[in-house]
């Protein structure tokens, strides 16, 4: 399951995976995020907040994740990974080649630092 919280005032979506990600998780995330993007043109940022990355439930879930990234990366200024998993720094290094948004990794307990960086560029 993927919990999605959208702070409409700040323009930040926080995604918190709880268990393996499913295809439906990304459909659900889009139904929350897309109306905001349609109204305001973009999100200031997305925070992926997860202690350790749970993986995907199936190959179709991975494909849905890649489609979600493809459909949203040009409409998000910054993406922060708040995680103690090595996937955060790995994703930051790899995704920089495919994603327009600026990416940065933080420790799992640095959620407020993620928000500050997205809004102000500060750590």
Domain count, the chain: 1
pLDDT of residue 3: 94
Averaged pLDDT score across all residues of the chain: 84
Examine the pLDDT at 94 and tell me if it is beyond 60. Answer: no
**Where do we find the tokens 């993927």?**
2
pLDDT confidence band for 91 (50 / 70 / 90):
low
* Structural domain harbouring 42: 2-120
CATH code of the domain in which 60 resides: 3.30.750
Residues 12, 113: contact at Cβ < 8 Å?
no
Q: In what order do the strands lie in the sheet with 43-49?
A: 2-7, 12-17, 43-49, 76-82, 102-106
DSSP letter, residue 76: E
**Where do we find the tokens 């990416």?**
103
């Amino acid at each position: 399951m993927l919990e999605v919280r959208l702070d409409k005032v700040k323009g930040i979506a926080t995604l918190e995976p709880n268990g393996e990600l499913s295809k439906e998780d990304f459909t659900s995330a889009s139904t929350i995020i897309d109306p905001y993007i349609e109204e305001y043109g973009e999100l200031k940022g997305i925070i992926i907040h997860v202690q350790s990355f749970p993986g995907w439930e199936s190959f179709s879930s991975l494909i849905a994740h890649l489609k979600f990234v493809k459909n949203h990366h040009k409409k998000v200024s910054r993406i922060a990974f708040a995680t103690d998993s090595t996937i955060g720094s790995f994703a930051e290094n790899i995704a920089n080649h495919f994603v327009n948004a600026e990416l940065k990794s933080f420790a799992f307990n640095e959620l407020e630092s993620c928000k500050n960086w997205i809004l102000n560029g500060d750590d």
